[in-house]
């Protein structure tokens, strides 16, 4: 990330890690250590905006927001505490049938 002079040492080589950084008032970067890390970074950004990943599964509707403010210099760095993560939905369960 030479153009914006930000360091990626804190996510480099990590599994599914990401960094969200506001470089100025018009640019917000989501940088991942791998493609899934970038996807999780975008998911975290949407969570910060109030969107739940459970909208379709659990009918959780996001709150409407007129503005989103992130101050310049704000940095979020995250990586999973386990290597493989996800959810299991038992599709044989009666509750998922119409």
| CB-count exposure of residue 19 (10 Å: 0-12, 13-18, 19+) | buried
Which of helix, strand or coil describes residue 62? Answer: coil
Backbone angles phi, psi at 58, to 5 degrees: -120, 15
Q: What is the pLDDT of residues 7-17, one digit of tens each?
A: 889 999 999 99
Q: What is the mean pLDDT of residues 57-79?
A: 79
DSSP 75: E
| Interatomic CA distance for residues 50 and 23, integer angstroms | 22
- Closest among 21, 37, 41 to 29, alpha carbons compared: 21
In order of start, what are the domains of the chain with their CATH numbers? Answer: 1-80 (3.30.379.10)
pLDDT bracket for residue 4 (50, 70, 90) = confident
Q: Taking the model in full, what pTM does it have?
A: 0.73
């Amino acid at each position: 990330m030479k153009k914006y002079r930000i360091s990626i040492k804190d996510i480099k080589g990590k599994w599914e890690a990401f960094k969200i950084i506001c470089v100025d008032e018009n640019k917000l970067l989501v940088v991942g250590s791998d493609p899934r890390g970038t996807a999780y970074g975008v998911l975290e950004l949407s969570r910060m905006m109030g969107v739940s990943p459970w909208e379709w599964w659990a009918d959780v509707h996001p709150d409407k927001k007129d503005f989103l403010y992130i101050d310049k210099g704000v940095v979020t760095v995250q990586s999973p505490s386990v290597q493989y993560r996800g959810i299991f939905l038992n599709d044989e369960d009666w509750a998922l049938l119409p």
